Structure 1
Amino acid sequence: MKKALFTLFAAASTVANAQNAVAKTATDIAPLLIGEKIPNSTLKSSDNATVSLSELISKKKTVLVFYRGGWCPYCNLHLSALAEAEKQILDLGYQIVAVSPDSPENLKVTAEKDKVKYTLLSDADGTLIKEFGIAFEAPENYKSVINVHSNGMNTSFLPVPSVFVVNTSGDILFEYVSPDFKQRINADLLVSVLKTLK
């Protein structure tokens, strides 16, 4: 019996550690899956206020977006496209929350540049990104950029750009995770998905 319990505990620990590990490459990640519950984490707003993710999503179904940072042109295009589709998304009963390793100060720059009115949050130390299983080791040529944009809190990882749709209990209803950072879910397709989930 003790051996069986130890084996079960070891297996559970391995899964938990895999979720919190930083993968070697973007194709090695092990993201949370549809049907799983997202972890709670404390993030920072653009005003440097502390935000509880579980409290935030308990208010409204959420389109939770992870992006690499305001320095990434593909991320900026994606954030702008979401901003354009925001009214449709809100009308379907969802809010948009976008998370990156950028510092709170840099979130403000991104919001102004991309005309974003929805919530941008900072996960500069990568706690939530790692818990979602989408962190991977940043290539050398990105390290100075992410260091600057996270105000020195991140020197080593990037999130794989991802979109998770979650209900108010934190259950994942849909996800789009692409190791190719140039590939993002089209805003029209996302709206169609939200309509089917309604």
Structure 2
Amino acid sequence: MIKVKPIKLIAVFVFLSISSVNAQISEKPEDISPLLIGEKIPASNLINELGETISLNSQISKMNTVLVFYRGGWCPFCNLQLSGLATSTPDIVKLGYQVIAISPDDYKNIKPTIKKGTLNYKLYSDPKGKFIQQMGIAFTPDPRTKGYISKNTIGKATSVLPVPTVVVVNTKGEILFEYIAPNFKQRISSELLLAVLENL
């Protein structure tokens, strides 16, 4: 069992900037202004793989939640992260948390992502990245990335991306922990995430 001192629970990549009240889209990943620990996430409606509208608040009110914001099923780094989460989800559930992964992918892309691995948690689409913008982690991808997304996605391609982020919230939607990595190749390890959850 990994033990982490409380002082280490704040991720290196958490930005200590003042969050904006209004939803915004930054030009670069390094310029985002995320909501901070202690703040409440906004109410949001998401879309499941069947195209049905889901209230995120109704989902998190049932159980403390690990929210994982990923770029999309077209992203190999995201797929590795999602697969790793599937392995650690049983341990996360034992600690009293559920896992919900969110991307600005068209909901039609969720089924193929689920089929890539045995996922034992929920994946939702955030149409147009509205919730991602409200979380303060949205940025505009460069033209090259936009082109890649268009060629490797089903349905309407997104014009906004989230900085890869993991947010832990309680049933009231209050942020208990967050890990934000402007470098999309860097993701929180399963070991660190489990250690964080054990110490919250």
TM class, shorter-length: 0.7 to 0.9
Contact 1:103–1:150 (CA<8 Å) still a contact in 2? yes
TM-score (norm 1): 0.88
Residue 110 (structure 1) aligned with residue 113 (structure 2): yes
TM-score (norm 2): 0.87
Superposition deviation, residue 47 in structure 1 = 1.3
Task: Give the total of aligned pairs.
Answer: 181
Contact 1:102–1:146 (CA<8 Å) still a contact in 2? no
Structure 1 runs not aligned, ≥5 long: 1-13
- Percent of residue pairs bearing the same amino acid type: 50
CA distance in 1, matches of 2:59, 2:148: 29
CA distance in 2, matches of 1:150, 1:131: 25
CA distance in 2, matches of 1:49, 1:186: 31
Superposition deviation, residue 147 in structure 1 = 4.2
Deviations 1:31-79 (A, max 9, x none): 1110000001100001111100111100000000000001111001111
AA matched with 1:135: A
SS at match of 1:64: strand
Alignment match of 1:48 (pick from 46, 51, 63): 51
Distance 1:107 1:92, change over 3 A: same
Deviations 1:129-155 (A, max 9, x none): 00000000101111134346362262x
AA matched with 2:20: V
Alignment match of 1:33 (pick from 26, 31, 36): 36
CA distance in 1, matches of 2:35, 2:113: 27
Structure 2 runs not aligned, ≥5 long: 1-18
Residue 78 (structure 1) aligned with residue 85 (structure 2): no
CA distance in 1, matches of 2:87, 2:186: 18
AA matched with 1:16: V
Alignment match of 1:22 (pick from 25, 30, 53): 25
Task: Say which structure is richer in helix.
Answer: 1
Contact 1:65–1:163 (CA<8 Å) still a contact in 2? yes
SS at match of 1:16: coil
Work out which of the two has the higher radius of gyration on C-alpha atoms and give 1 or 2.
1
Superposition deviation, residue 104 in structure 1 = 1.6
Contact 2:105–2:157 (CA<8 Å) still a contact in 1? no
Superposition deviation, residue 116 in structure 1 = 1.1
Counterpart of 1:57 in structure 2 is 60
Counterpart of 2:131 in structure 1 is 128
CA distance in 1, matches of 2:164, 2:184: 6
CA distance in 2, matches of 1:61, 1:129: 19
Contact 1:124–1:153 (CA<8 Å) still a contact in 2? no
CA distance in 2, matches of 1:144, 1:124: 19
Counterpart of 1:143 in structure 2 is 146
Residue 185 (structure 1) aligned with residue 184 (structure 2): no
SS at match of 1:183: coil
Superposition deviation, residue 178 in structure 1 = 0.5
AA matched with 1:179: P
Superposition deviation, residue 161 in structure 1 = 0.3
Contact 2:20–2:136 (CA<8 Å) still a contact in 1? no
